[in-house]
Chain A
Amino acid sequence: MLLLRQASNRFSEMELTYRVEGGDFAGAGHSSSEVKKVLKQLNIPPEIIKRIVVALYEAEVNIVAHAWRGVIMVEIDTSGIKCILEDEGPGIPEIDKAMEPGWTTASQAVREMGFGAGMGLPNIKKNTDRLEITSEVGVGTRVEFEVLL
């Protein structure tokens, strides 16, 4: 859900915040479409918009599929677009493995819904200029990535 009223105070910099609920597969993709609308208005080149939208969608689906709830923050300034996704959830025990294409911890039920193919993090990495993941098992995960302009 877009927190419409949360405008940034800093000039020439913008911050968008969205909440994500675990298990809400039907609503997944909402934040990436909202961010796309903003980026189009800012005249960001279409190739960059596409990379952000794809990475953000993957990261959002990760929260929906694995975590209990999370917050997405998007910061835009003249140097680039930064996305920070923080969730409360089971955490990732082995981040290196999670970065390998095809490696997944998604349940059979989630995979049957067409999610959890193990391509999430590799796809985010492919579309961004910087990716940092920190995670604590049983607490949650923080994913931060950036696409430079």
Chain B
Amino acid sequence: MAKGEFYHALKIERDKCIGCVHCIRVCPTQALRVIGGKATLFGKRCVDCGECLRACPVNAISVAGDDFEKIFDYRIRIAIIPAVIYGQFSKKHSYQKITESLKNIGFTHIYEAERSIPVIIRRFKSIIEGDGQPKPLISSFCPAIVRLIQVRFPSLTGNIAGVKPPVDLTAIMVREQLRKVGWADEEVGIFYVTPCAAKIAAVKSPVGEDISYVDGVINLNSLYNRMYPELKAMEDVRQKKNRMLRPEELLWSLTRGESVHQSGRVLAVDGIQNAIDILEKIEDDEVRNLDFLELRACDEGCAGGVLNVENRFLAVERLTRKARITAEEEYHKDNWSEHDWLFLEKKSGIGEINPRSILSLDADLKAALGKMDRKRKILDILPLVDCGVCGSPDCDTFAEDIIQGRATLDKCVFFSREGMVSTWTSDKIKDINNIPDEIKGTD
């Protein structure tokens, strides 16, 4: 992919899209417009949070993961699964059954992404104890949040912890272990099972990294459809000892999963609008003496990811219950030595996360002032009802689209009905004279 381009996992299926403007209004970065009756994505603005997908009433927005069959290009087929997968199935489906079902459909090895959490905890500790890191330290866990900060809060990119996400660290460790026993890299395919769109974008177009550590990404919901019949058909298998995840691994991706491991003043915020509100305050210096900030784009953390199948609250209940009832002697015992952990810790950093503001009207101040002046004059005459009929999410963004040459005032339905015709196809706009009296209503 060329530099400056961004991979987006969110795809709009044009045949399904009815141009209803639901998606453009929920987008936290104003990355969507309706043009010619179809939703259109502005790649530089999109942070892959998936809010548009949730809002779409006709399922016209989908998440483009890799084709499942791609795993069979490799002799060793690793599934790196998010712990939230264990919250998707009822309690009669044990860890053992869930991982067995993944093997039945074709994977050779299963690892949870959260296996590398101990390294992340160590790394945070050394960042916090070291100096030079501006406060609060913002978690780099949620890729939609990292991108949101880049585009909307460019002054806070320096606060983001330079730590790789768990999936990358686990992938590095697994590959290294397989190298040791003689497997060549090209024989090993590592596939991440993702609960959200942002993690696909993070794998295909990583921030602060030159390469990706994973060979492909499989959507959790599509994998669920393959696993479910296997689980249904499977006899109860005896739970192997030493298989369960530790509580911190099981709960890491949920709200407060990270922040409970930090000392000092910590804050955990979930939901992208809530994250924006708190980032505004931090940018204004209204929140002082905060040491650590955990932000998750989805409500309830990764259990709320758009590709989960189960209701997020039920999934959280299952995961927290598992964390509570699992006895210490049941925890998995990985055979990773202290030497391995040190190796992984050395690999855990990432490069600089650069700001790429989408807010600026013009790089030149004089030009920006001129544009702002024009924008305010346009806003003066707009209706400010934010109807979205022009194809822009609200009147403010519409005014900006006009000054940036992306729209013209006649698209506003308050000025001309023809504007509506240019936003939608003409067959969608009905002539009132041709509508039967019984559905018109009377005064």
Contact = CB atoms under 8 A, between A and B. Distances in A.
A43 interface: yes
A5 B360 contact: no
Nearest to A47: B155
Contacts of A38: 372
A54 B377 CA distance: 29
B372 A46 contact: no
B380 A7 contact: yes
Interface in B354-368: 357, 359-366, 368
B369 A77 contact: yes
Contacts of A40: 357, 359-360
- Majority DSSP secondary structure for residues of A touching B: mixed
Contacts of A43: 357, 360-365, 368
B373 A8 contact: yes
Interface of A: 4-5, 7-8, 11-14, 29, 32-33, 36, 38, 40-44, 46-47, 49-50, 53-54, 57, 76-78, 149
Given A40-B360, A49-B155, 8 more contacts: A11-B370, A13-B369, A14-B369, A29-B284, A43-B362, A44-B365, A53-B285, A149-B365
B360 A29 contact: no
B236 interface: no
A76 to B, nearest CB: 7
Contacts of A44: 365
B373 A41 contact: no
Counting chain B residues whose Cβ lies within 8 A of the other chain, the interface size class is: 20 to 34
26 contacts: A7-B376, A11-B370, A12-B366, A14-B369, A14-B372, A32-B284, A33-B280, A36-B283, A41-B361, A41-B368, A42-B368, A42-B369, A42-B372, A43-B357, A43-B364, A43-B365, A44-B365, A47-B155, A49-B155, A50-B285, A53-B283, A53-B284, A57-B284, A57-B286, A78-B366, A78-B369
B15 to A, nearest CB: 36
Contacts of B373: 7-8, 11-12, 14
Interface string B9-30: 0000000000000000000000
A50 B156 CA distance: 11
Nearest to B286: A29
Interface string B100-134: 00000000000000000000000000000000000
B285 A54 contact: yes
A38 B376 CA distance: 11
